[in-house]
């Protein structure tokens, strides 16, 4: 089916302009005329582009939060319609040994705005709790952040415990934070490493094409 460019552009622009009411109105109209999937793509692409600007310091935290809320408001309208997109459950946590939460909290808003069902476990979360929640919530991805390099070994433990629990091949793992690198992700066996939140958004969205 050909994309409806007008719906896509309007949804994308309204998210980037932080206009919740406009996004909701566009999504309601899109549902009525059968262009809901184009609204979904516009919302998601607009939010990712806003996150890229945020990562570059060209969008403030308040603006980023407003765009996330606008995107979430639109996705809520679309999720109650006949628009058949998936909402994968994601476990989000700052790994055990690290109490920092700012980056994780921003990512929670961003991933929720994309349409993910985000289960935020908080900071300094024990590996066993992450495993239990992943099983109980039927999570399809586990995303962990870390600021303190002393907490890095727990990311390796998490990968090992996921395998021991028999669910490693059922979830996508994503790591991020200043002390992490692609080399570290390769070493511990994580599926995704990203330098910033916009990269995490893009990689996770690519991993779940049924969300588009």
Match 């406009």 to its residue by tokens. Answer: 22
List, as one string, the DSSP characters of 2-55: ---HHHHHHHHHHHHTT-HHHHHHHHHHHHHHT-HHHHHHHHHHHHHHHHHHHH
Average pLDDT over residues 180-202: 97
Burial class of residue 117 in the structure, from the number of CB atoms within 10 Å of its CB (0-12 exposed, 13-18 middle, 19+ buried): middle
- Say how many CA atoms lie within 13 Å of 120 toward its Cβ: 14
Cα angle: 89, vertex 91, 92; to 5 degrees: 130
The model's confidence at residue 3, banded by pLDDT at 50, 70 and 90, is: low
**Which two three-digit tokens encode residue 37?**
């999937």
Check pLDDT > 80 for residue 82.
no
Contact 85, 79 (CB under 8 A): yes
Check pLDDT > 90 for residue 80.
no
Cα angle: 144, vertex 138, 189; to 5 degrees: 40
**CA–CA dist 149, 177 (Å, integer):** 9
Domains of the chain: 5-79 (1.10.1240.10), 89-211 (3.40.50.280)
| Predicted confidence (pLDDT) per residue in 94-114, tens digit | 999 999 998 999 999 999 999
Give pTM, 2 decimals: 0.94
| Predicted confidence (pLDDT) per residue in 194-203, tens digit | 999 999 999 9
């Amino acid at each position: 089916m050909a994309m409806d460019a007008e719906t896509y552009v309007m949804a994308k622009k309204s998210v980037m302009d932080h206009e919740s009411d406009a996004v909701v109105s566009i999504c309601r109209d899109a549902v009525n005329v059968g262009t809901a999937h184009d609204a979904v793509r516009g919302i998601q692409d607009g939010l990712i582009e806003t996150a890229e600007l945020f990562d570059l310091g060209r969008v403030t935290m308040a603006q980023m939060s407003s765009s996330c809320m606008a995107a979430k408001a639109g996705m809520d309208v679309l999720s109650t319609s006949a628009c058949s997109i998936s909402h994968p459950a994601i476990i989000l946590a700052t790994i055990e040994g690290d109490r920092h939460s700012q980056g994780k909290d921003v990512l929670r808003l961003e991933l929720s705005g994309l349409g993910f069902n985000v289960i935020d476990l908080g900071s300094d979360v024990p590996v066993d709790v992450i495993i239990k929640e992943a099983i109980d919530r039927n999570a399809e991805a586990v995303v962990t952040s870390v600021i303190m390099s002393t907490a890095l070994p727990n990311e390796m433990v998490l990968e090992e415990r996921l395998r021991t629990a028999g669910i490693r091949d059922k979830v996508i793992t994503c790591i991020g934070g200043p002390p992490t690198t692609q080399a570290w992700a390769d070493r511990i066996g994580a599926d995704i490493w990203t330098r910033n939140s916009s990269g995490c958004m893009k990689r996770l969205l690519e991993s779940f094409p049924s969300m588009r």
